[in-house]
Amino acid sequence: MSQEKKISVRETVYKKNDDLAEEIRKNMKNKGKLFFNIMGSIGAGKTLLLENLAVKLSTHYRVFVINGDIATTIDADRIAKHGVKTVQINTGGGCHLNANLIAKELEKINIDDFDIFFTENVGNLICPAAWDVGAQMNIVVVSITEGEYVVKKHPIIFKDAEIAIINKCDLDGLGFDSQVLEEDASKIKSGMKVICTSAKTGQGIDDFIEALGIEIPRDE
């Protein structure tokens, strides 16, 4: 295949994905549903964050989590323990979710049976940024154990996100300050909401929920 031909095939693939993603986004919005895409590297704490969210949200909302992983159902099983519905997509080597994979899962359920949808995207900071899944908001999670330059080195995925989570803040003091990552993330995009969390201690989880625009009714 010529170089030009290769490029145009690639563009068509992206265009197809973006069109389908837009369709998913519109459909969810029309139905009054919230749909969030959680991206981040392996070990950043995406699953544990979703477990924290599940605990807080499941008594008030019907939550559906689509987990993307190359193999196993470990993450979906972990989150399902907290009273939310989960489904695991095994990409069989694919390193990101895409709109087609999401559409196929949504076809299997009745969207009206749920209020809030999440994806846990496959763990990496590169290509999930290029593949719109149709969410209303993208969230990128990095942890301070990934080092001082993790945000600086991956600007593209942060540009696509509305919320940056700096996780594992309970481990602050690894030779640099979590503030470095917070500052880097806010510099990449104006209006970026940056939140320091610890999925382990629960720090910042309420702020995260607020940033997602989800209201938790107060218990009387």
Residue 95 contacts which entry, Zn ion, Mg ion, none (Cβ below 5-8 A, type-dependent):
Zn ion
Helix (H, G, I), strand (E, B) or coil at 45: coil
Nearest residue (CB) to Mg ion, 20 versus 144: 144
Token pair, residue 134, equals 């149709």
Residue 75 contacts which entry, Mg ion, Zn ion, none (Cβ below 5-8 A, type-dependent):
Mg ion
Residue 209 contacts which entry, Mg ion, Zn ion, none (Cβ below 5-8 A, type-dependent):
none
Please identify, among the stretches 74-82, 105-113, 152-160, 165-173, the one whose residues bind Mg ion according to the rule CB under 5 A. Answer: 74-82
Q: Which residue from 55, 87, 95, 109 is in contact with Zn ion, where contact means CB under 5 A? A: 95
DSSP 220: -
Q: Which residue from 96, 154, 168, 193 is in contact with Zn ion, where contact means CB under 5 A? A: 96
Nearest residue (CB) to Zn ion, 82 versus 96: 96
Nearest residue (CB) to Zn ion, 27 versus 124: 124
Nearest residue (CB) to Mg ion, 52 versus 188: 52
Contact between residue 170 and residue 45 where contact means Cβ atoms under 8 Å apart: no
Q: Which residue from 38, 63, 75, 168 is in contact with Mg ion, where contact means CB under 5 A? A: 75
**Alpha-carbon torsion (219, 195, 160, 51), positive or negative:** negative
Is residue 32 left, alpha or beta, with left meaning phi > 0 and alpha meaning psi from -120 to 50? left
Residue 86 contacts which entry, Mg ion, Zn ion, none (Cβ below 5-8 A, type-dependent):
none
Stretch 44-63: interaction string toward Mg ion, x if CB under 5 A: --xx----------------
Q: Which residues pair with 88 in a beta bridge?
A: 67
**What is the binding site for Mg ion (CB under 5 A)?**
46-47, 75
**What is the binding site for Zn ion (CB under 5 A)?**
95-96, 127
